[in-house]
Amino acid sequence: MMDTNDAWITERTGIKERRWFTPGVDTVANMAAKASMMAIQNAGIEKEHIDFIVFATITPDYYFPGSGVLLQRELGLGNIPALDIRNQCTGFVYALSVADQFIKTGIYQNVLVIGAEIQSSALDKSSEGRGMAVIFGDGAGAVVLKRSENAGRGIIDSKLYSDGKFAEELILKDPGSSRPKRKFDELALDMSDSKPYMNGNQVFKHAVQRFPEVTLEILEKNGFEKSDLDLLVPHQANLRITNYIKEQLGLPDSKVVSNIERYGNTTAASIPIALSEAFQEGRIKEGMLICFAAFGSGFTWGANLMRW
């Protein structure tokens, strides 16, 4: 497809495999529905108990309506509210924090929080687009956030940030509502704004600073030391970024979840997929102190700290 090779991709990103959707079969909504049913079963509830959907994606099936309503339809749920979150690779961290507010205020009891993406359809698979095309993958992950009477468990805190100065460093411009509409033949000649663009070096530099910074901040703010952390589930941006965070925080491999080698960077889906795998592998035990941290386009970044 493009001028690249396995050695380059492995060295720069750590990625060995990715999943790409099957057109005509997979949709963001139906992938999300499968992940949601796994989460609902693990949570030991019926799907009818879900009273709010928070859906993080930058690749909705339609420009509008959002993916939350499509998931509500796909799961055959009642007329519960459905909210879409568009915060790119930080989407799941933002979504979890929104869900947490509704749980803490007692408005909802069981919130379905999803991160799902089909990115392969927009990637430029020519050599020109290789900087992005080798990194991003498709996938879906979900959690159920339940209200619990046990005050010691659940989300302890969330820290969310943005810096729009860097909006154009990782961007997909079209379809943008304020942009002049181009004629069909002009579009056919120049598709550049319809393909995602990333300034890889710039993203890398900021990511390696923000990830450790926000992780340390949320720990310190809540009275914890680095050594109190049982598990860090970072957004799977790039293996080099994850390794750098691990080094900066002085965490052993056993305390950091990494599965980018099998899925690539799945944007809002990467944290819930990594969490789901860690859970299935028995790495998560009741009472553990767990941190989710992410950085991405916007730039946006943030973290959630929770007691499992």
Active site residues: 89, 235, 265
Residues 6+ apart with CB under 8 A from 112: 36, 39, 40, 50, 52, 53, 54, 71, 142, 143, 144
| Least distance in angstroms from the C-beta of 61 to ligand COA | 22
Smallest distance from ligand COA to CB 205, Å: 9
Asked whether the beta carbons of 76 and 53 are under 8 A apart, the reply is no
Helix (H) or strand (E) segment spanning residue 245: helix 239-249
- Closest CB 65 distance from ligand COA, rounded Å: 26
Query: What long-range pairs does 2-7 form, CB within 8 A, spacing at least 24?
Result: 2/125, 2/126, 2/127, 2/129, 2/130, 2/133, 3/127, 3/130, 4/127, 4/130, 4/134
If the CB atoms of residues 53 and 116 are measured against ligand COA, the closer one turns out to be 116
Q: How far is the CB of 302 from ligand COA (least distance, A)?
A: 13
Residue type (1 letter), 13:
T
CA dist 170 and 25 (Å) reads 29
Question: Which amino acid is located at 102 in the chain?
Answer: F
Q: Least distance in Å: CB of 12 to ligand COA?
A: 4
Residue at shortest CB range from ligand COA = 200
Tell me how long the chain is.
308
Smallest distance from ligand COA to CB 16, Å: 14
Contacts of 25 (CB under 8 A, 6+ apart): none
Tokens of 152: 């010691």
Q: Which of 232, 230, 256, 294 is nearest to 96 (CA)?
A: 294
Cβ nearer to ligand COA, comparing 69 with 210? 210
Q: Which is nearer to ligand COA, 33 or 275 (CB)?
A: 275
3-class SS at 225? coil
HEC string of 59-79?
CCCCCCCCHHHHHHHHHCCCC
Q: Of 110 and 236, which has the nearer Cβ to ligand COA? A: 236
The smaller minimum CB distance to ligand COA, of residues 14 and 68, is found at 14
Q: Which residues bind ligand COA (CB under 6 A)?
A: 4, 8, 12-13, 89, 130-131, 134, 200-201, 203-204, 207, 237-238, 241, 265, 295-296
Closer residue to ligand COA, CB minimum distance, 81 or 200: 200
